[in-house]
Amino acid sequence: MAAAEFEIDYDAAYVMYVQRFADRFGERAEGAFVKFGKHMVKNLARPEFERRLDTYVRLHKACKKMLESGSTISDALVLDFDESAAWIAVEAPNVHSMFRGEMGDPRVAAPELMRTDPDENAKTTEIEAPHLKVTRKS
């Protein structure tokens, strides 16, 4: 399981990944390599996708924790985070936006697993898409 504060719905996440990949690169054979930004990535099979998604969520959490605590983030961590996002066909947040606290939500690519127990699903979760901006008036 991923190092996340929520349990990932891997079935839904994989369906979303397949759609994002096809939208960006068209129909490609499993294992075919493509260029995503600065990174060469391949069309992932389900088991490898899960490992890559876990890495993305873990690095997202690490970056967010460092930003919230005021720690300095190394260039190597930023590059690893950017590459992990590319592997799951997600645009990583801009580093400058990260420092302004606009980290986004990893659940955009890794949706939370919904439980069959009605009490567990009673809470609602708002997911913020990193590519959408909301303007708030004071």
pLDDT digits (tens, 9 = 90+) for 39-57: 999 999 999 999 999 999 9
Output the average pLDDT for the chain.
78
Instruction: Round to whole Å and give the CA distance between 86 and 17.
Output: 11
Above 80 in pLDDT, residue 31? yes
pLDDT digits (tens, 9 = 90+) for 90-101: 988 765 465 555
Q: Is the pTM of this model over 0.75?
A: no
Instruction: Round to whole Å and give the CA distance between 50 and 88.
Output: 9
The b-or-e profile of 61-97 (16+ CB within 10 A means b, else e) is bbbbeebeeeeeeeeeeeebbbbbbbbbbbebbeeee
Choice between 119 and 18, residue whose per-residue pLDDT is larger: 18
Token pair in block for residue 29: 């054979």
Residue 17 · residue 42 · CB < 8 Å: no
Choice between 54 and 3, residue whose per-residue pLDDT is larger: 54
